[in-house]
């Protein structure tokens, strides 16, 4: 099992940038998306499967909608599917979503020690920013990058979104390399994408994404660090 990412130890090892996913990593929100998937697919007589959840967690919302439409041959366009999803979740991110226990203290300590902080998320920008504003942490982050900002038909199994966060931070006067940046994510494929770009990685436990003990142990073993609780 990999080590917990203690901030003072990271600092001593030369880590300068911490990049966080939102859903299931900083935010206690995956249960809401799972409920949306269950309710939405249930309207058409389908059940949520683990492989479906794994795909949509790492995909952009556009790709998730297209995948959903094609896989289940739904009588809706991808844009109509996104509209339905947005109606179901927009109020949650604006008014209800909470940080996972310990996250605020971890971020506060990271800022006190001088780390740069970034976000790399598959959430759309509206929901991402709303969630950070609601929890009064938006100002802590030097960069908030979504898959919408990358501008390519990719998901987080590619390093592009993490590199974009790094480039955005470096454009403000730093010269951080991927090996000096640690990516926190609750999706194994996303951590693999970050690692392929040369980043350090931290597996974050989330019951929906990593509830199976064997899956969690495999995920954690692949990463440099792991977090069950902040």
CA angle 103, 56, 140 (to 5 degrees): 25
Sheet holding 200-204, edge to edge: 143-146, 116-121, 17-20, 181-185, 200-204, 225-227
| Strands 116-121, 143-146: pairing kind | parallel
Query: Which of 184, 177, 172 lies closest to 7, judged by CA?
Result: 184
What token pair was written down for 156? 């987080």
Average pLDDT over residues 97-119: 97
The model's pLDDT over 34-90, given as tens digits with 9 standing for 90+, comes to 888 999 999 999 999 989 988 888 788 888 999 999 999 999 999 999 999 988 888
For residues 125 and 122, what is the distance between their CA atoms, to the nearest angstrom?
9
Query: Which of 7, 25, 13 lies closest to 228, judged by CA?
Result: 25
Q: Annotate 112-135 with DSSP letters as a single string.
A: HTT-EEEEEESS-HHHHHHHHHHT
The model's pLDDT over 218-230, given as tens digits with 9 standing for 90+, comes to 999 999 999 999 9
The model's pLDDT over 186-198, given as tens digits with 9 standing for 90+, comes to 999 999 999 999 9
CB atoms within 10 A of CB 230: 18
Work out the mean pLDDT of the chain and round it to a whole number. 93
Tokens 């990999």 belong to which residue? Answer: 2
Q: Higher pLDDT residue, 24 or 153?
A: 24
DSSP letter assigned to residue 60: -
User: Are the beta carbons of 125 and 161 closer than 8 angstroms?
Assistant: no
What token pair was written down for 104? 């605020």
Q: Cα dihedral sign for 14, 228, 52, 35?
A: negative
For residues 158 and 123, what is the distance between their CA atoms, to the nearest angstrom?
16
The model's pLDDT over 148-167, given as tens digits with 9 standing for 90+, comes to 898 766 789 999 999 999 99
For residues 60 and 62, what is the distance between their CA atoms, to the nearest angstrom?
5
Total-model pTM: 0.86
| Strands 181-185, 143-146: pairing kind | unpaired
The full set of domains in the chain, from first to last, is 7-28+98-227 (3.40.50.1000), 30-95 (1.10.150.240)
């Amino acid at each position: 099992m990999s080590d917990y990412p203690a901030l003072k130890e990271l600092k001593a090892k030369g880590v300068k940038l911490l990049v966080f996913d939102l859903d299931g990593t900083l935010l206690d929100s995956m249960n809401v998306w799972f409920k949306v998937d269950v309710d939405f697919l249930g309207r058409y007589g389908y059940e949520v499967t683990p492989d479906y959840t794994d795909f949509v967690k790492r995909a952009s919302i556009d790709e998730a909608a297209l995948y959903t439409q094609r896989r289940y041959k739904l009588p809706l366009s991808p844009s109509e599917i996104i509209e339905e999803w947005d109606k179901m979740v927009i109020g949650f991110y604006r008014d209800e979503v909470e940080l996972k226990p310990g996250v605020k203290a971890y971020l506060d300590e990271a800022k006190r020690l001088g780390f740069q902080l970034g976000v790399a998320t598959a959430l759309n920008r509206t929901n991402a920013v709303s969630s950070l504003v609601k929890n009064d942490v938006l100002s802590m982050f030097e960069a908030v990058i979504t898959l919408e900002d990358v501008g390519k038909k990719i998901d987080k199994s590619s390093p592009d979104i993490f590199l974009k966060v790094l480039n955005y931070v470096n454009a403000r006067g730093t010269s951080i390399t991927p090996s000096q940046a640690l990516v926190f994510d609750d999706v194994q494929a996303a951590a693999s994408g970050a690692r392929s770009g040369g980043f350090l990685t931290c597996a974050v436990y989330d019951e929906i994404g990593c509830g199976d003990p064997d899956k969690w142990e495999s995920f954690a073993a692949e990463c440099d660090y792991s977090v069950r609780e902040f």
